[in-house]
Structure formats: C-alpha cells, structure tokens
Amino acid sequence: MGPRVRFAPSPTGYFHVGSARSALFNWFVARHAPDGTFILRIEDTDESRDREEWVQGIVDAMAWLGLDVDQGPSRQSDNAPAHALALEQLRDAGYLYYCDCSAEALAIRKGANKTPGYDGFCRHRGLDQGPSTALRFMTPHEGRTIVHDLIRGDVEFANDTFEDFVVARSSGAVLYALANVVDDRDDAITHVIRGEEHLSNAPKQMMLWEALNVASGTVLALPAYAHLPLLVNEQRKKLSKRRDPVATESYRDEGYLASAFVNYLALLGWSPRGDEEIVPLTTMIEQFRLEDVSHSPAFFDTKKLHHMSGEYIRALSLEEFIDACGPWVRPGDGAWSPTDRVPPWSSDEFDADLFARVAPLVHERVATLGEVPAMVGFFFVTTLSYNETDFDKSIGNDPLGQALLAVALERLTDTPWEAPALHDAILELGLAMGLNLRKAQAPIRCAVTGSLVGPPLFESLVLLGRERSLARLHDALERASA
Ligand code: GLU
C-alpha cells in the first residue's frame, strides 16, 4: 500500500501560506509514490470558529494551486459517531475519567504562579457522568514518549509534563486531539505531515492512538510524523496574521502565477537538488523526500516570491501570457475573476485584438498579472487619467515640456507612424530644444499614457495610432494651460 496522507485544515480564516505549504508537502508525498493517496479533511468541529465560506476558500485555493485530491473533501463533523464510539471505548477501558472541576475551582486550588494545566483532582474520585462533567485522558506519570519525527529525528517528551487533558466537553463534544486521531485511524493515514506548532500534540495523539489500539481491539500502526519548519518574516519572527501578508488568496488575486507560487512554497524548508531553485513541478515531485526537509525556520520572503513570479511570467509563451491575463483584463469573462480587481476600462472600451498586440510590450516587464491593467490602461480608456505628480513634473510645471508638445503636435502629423521614424523624429525635435531623448520622451509619454513609467514609448504610439496619440498631446496642452 502506498502512503496515505491528509491535509486537515480548520476553516477558521484565509488560507494561510503555512497551510498551503503543508498541503503541498502532503501532496508531494502522495504524488511522489506510484500509489499514494492525498486526502483533504476539513476539521470543522470547532463551531465557534469555523465558517462555511472558509471551507470554499480552502477548496478554491487548492484548486488554484493544482493540488488535486484523491479523497474528500470530507468533514470531520461527519465522523461524529466514530468519535463518540471511540470515546466510549476509551472510557470503558479505563483510560478516561469524568471531571467536574470548573476553571475557577482549579484556579483557586492552584493559587498564583503554579505550573499550568490540570492538577488531577478528579482522577481518583470515581465520578459518574453528570450535567457538567468533562472527560479527561489519564496521562502516564512515568516514562517518556518519543516522537520519531522524519524531519527532526527523535523528539523526547517526559510524560509527567502532560496534564490529564480533556478529550470531550461536558456537552459531549469530542475535542480536536481525539477527533483527529480517530479520523487518521479511519482514513488509514500513514504519514502525519503538518506544521511545527502541532509537534507538542503528537505525543498526546500517540498516547490516544495506542490507547485506542487496546480499547477498540483494532491494532493499527502509528503513523509516521513530520513537522514542517516554522515560517518566519524578515525579522525572523513567526509569521503573524496581523503583520504579514499570509493569505494565499491575496497572492492569487494579485496575479502571482500558481506555478511560481507552488515552486516558491516548495522552497520553504526544502530545496531541489543542484543550484537551480526554479524547477519544473515534475522534478519537484520526483525529488521530494520528507527526510530532506530542514527543521530550521524558513524565511517567507515576499521579494523572492515576487521575483520568482516574474521569472515564471517571462517563461510563458506570448499566447500563454495573453491567456493568463484574461481574468485581469476581461473581468467576468473567465471562469474566475480576481476579487475586487476591476481594470481601469469598461468592457466596451476593451479591445482584445489590441491587447494581443500590446501584450508583448508588457510581457517582460511585469512580475504579477495584476500589474498589467495599470500598465496598459491608456490603450483602452476613452478618458485618460493622469498621475498628477508626473503631469506637473513633465508638463504642468515645465514650459519646455509644453513647448515640446506643441512642436510634436505639428511635426508628428506627417511622420510615418512606425517606431523607428517616431524615434528619429522625437530625438530630433528634442535636440533642437537642447533635450536628450529621455527628456524629450517624458512629456510625450505623460501626455499619451498619463504617467512617466510604462511600456516602450514608440511601440506604444504605433499601437495607439496617430489620431489618438495626437489628440492626447493636444488634451495635455489644454490641460496645462487650463
Ligand atoms: N486542523 C489542524 C489545523 O488546522 C491540523 C491538524 C493536523 O494536521 O493534524 O491546524
């Protein structure tokens, strides 16, 4: 039987980049083997925090990343009968006890500054189930539990550091630690691959697993564990939802290529052989081994991700690039549109043929697809909007810029409308006014595109056409004298 792995997110918010990395590494393990199984299990048993829309968010983000599942998405909540049965079996076999201690009573008994956790008060009281009795697992006081972690090696925990943790609330609700183990047993999971923050849960879950082997009479081998390294920001601090851009969805919506994002995620704790970091997906799948994942914190470097996305975009053929731009330039047209991203033109103004001719001018110049609309907007909009600072600098507050526009308006009426001829004409009329080519281009660029940065000017003028280009020179002059 091949490896059976699961990605088990709780639907409590945006799809964190750390979750995306966990999903990817599980998927790698499943796809690396000829007969691996990748399971998506939504751990939706925390009613106070889980929301249905986040489930859809997880499913959508995984589809974007291309992480196809072999089983699921299943819901942890659907397995409630199995959780209840396991609870009964553990209780009947003597692994659990009822506890009616309130948090207040516990706090009073312990006083201030004591070690955290439950003091075992009810362990030998022999309580029966009551209206407010939780069920606690009786942890051993002696010995150690060793987690054989594929990434970290053996991690030892002294058993007396574990409190008798709650496995079911007085309401009967089974808590995460047990539900997760029961589901892993039911799904015949062979490898538990998840973030480092779960390492301390592993020994408790191993205890539960082994107790269930006895209590249920079904003896199953423990899964292998692999806890993936923490993701940190530039200051080497754990990524924080508040401070750091951690939502996978936002990278999708900004137009990072999924292929680039996946390649980047793969490097968070792992690296392909050789010097190349940009490698095809098939190579990553082929080379990936949990044993090669590092346990040191991995820097989530948004600059590197941005750079990598640019490399992936440049590696697209022009046709692929035009296709990929679809959702950004034709909202509503594709199967999916980036949320809240509307290009600066209306659908009437957009011209797909013109975009196909414009695309080569920006293909090499963007790192994300989201940068495209602003860069090419001037081709499509009927009413140009100007970057005010750029306008003032190159035209509004610059008499020379205005003079140049006036001359250009005359001269360009009969210049052949081709890039080399436009280059020569603008070079020449600039020189006549003592301006080098760059300086001479500035007011023209701003008049025609609304800004001082953008795609190459002469090619842009050609594509925009003589009539529209000259009309814009005229408009800019009027605007400057208004
Ligand atoms: N539901 C847990 C979480 O979202 C994952 C638990 C696990 O992978 O074992 O963090």
> How far are the Cα atoms of 393, 414, 436 from residue 430, in angstroms, in the given order?
17, 17, 6
Residues contacting ligand 1 via CB (< 6 Å): 8-10, 43, 180, 192, 194, 198
Fold of 1-73+178-315: Rossmann fold (3.40.50)
The active-site residue, picked from 110, 114, 204, 241, is 241
- Residue 114 appears among annotated catalytic residues: no
Position 49 confidence tier, pLDDT thresholds 50, 70, 90: confident
Query: Does the pLDDT at position 334 exceed 70?
Result: no
Q: Give the whole-angstrom CA distance, residue 243 versus residue 233.
A: 9
Position in ligand 1 atom list of the atom nearest CA 180: 9
Who contacts 360 (Cβ-Cβ below 8 Å, separation ≥6)?
Answer: 318
Fold: same for 1-73+178-315 and 388-481: no
For atom 6 of ligand 1, which residue has the closest CA? 8
Provide the phi-psi class of 381: left if phi over 0, else alpha when psi is between -120 and 50, else beta.
beta
Task: Give the pairing type, strands 153-158 and 4-7.
Answer: unpaired
CA of 380 to the centre of ligand 1 (A): 47
> How far are the Cα atoms of 431, 456, 467 from residue 448, in angstroms, in the given order?
21, 12, 11
> How far are the Cα atoms of 193, 230, 256, 279, 405 from residue 260, in angstroms, in the given order?
23, 21, 7, 10, 43
CA of 81 to the centre of ligand 1 (A): 20
Q: How many helices (H) and strands (E) does the chain have?
A: 19, 12
Position in ligand 1 atom list of the atom nearest CA 43: 1
Mutate to test the pocket of ligand 1, among 16, 43, 206 (most ligand atoms within 8 A of CB): 43
Give the orientation angle of helix 80-92 with respect to helix 176-186, to 10 degrees. 110
Position in ligand 1 atom list of the atom nearest CA 6: 8
Q: For residue range 275-325, list pLDDT tens digits in order.
A: 999 999 999 999 999 999 999 999 999 999 999 999 999 999 999 999 999
Report the largest interatomic distance among the alpha carbons of the chain, rounded to a whole angstrom: 101
Mutate to test the pocket of ligand 1, among 4, 10, 12 (most ligand atoms within 8 A of CB): 10
The b/e string for 236-248 (b: 16+ C-beta within 10 A; e otherwise) is eeebeeeebebbb
Residue type, 18: G
CA of 287 to the centre of ligand 1 (A): 26
pTM for the model stands at: 0.93
Class for the domain spanning 388-481: mainly alpha
Query: Does the pLDDT at position 336 exceed 60?
Result: no
Query: Does the pLDDT at position 335 exceed 50?
Result: no
CA of 457 to the centre of ligand 1 (A): 52
Position 344 confidence tier, pLDDT thresholds 50, 70, 90: confident
Structure tokens at 405: 């526009």
Domain ranges of the chain: 1-73+178-315, 388-481
Contact (CB, 8 A) for 178 and 216: no
CA of 75 to the centre of ligand 1 (A): 13
Q: For residue range 21-41, list pLDDT tens digits in order.
A: 999 999 999 999 999 999 999
Contact (CB, 8 A) for 109 and 119: yes
Position in ligand 1 atom list of the atom nearest CA 184: 9
The b/e string for 350-388 (b: 16+ C-beta within 10 A; e otherwise) is beeeebeebbebbbebbbbbbbbbebbbbbbeeebebee
For atom 3 of ligand 1, which residue has the closest CA? 9
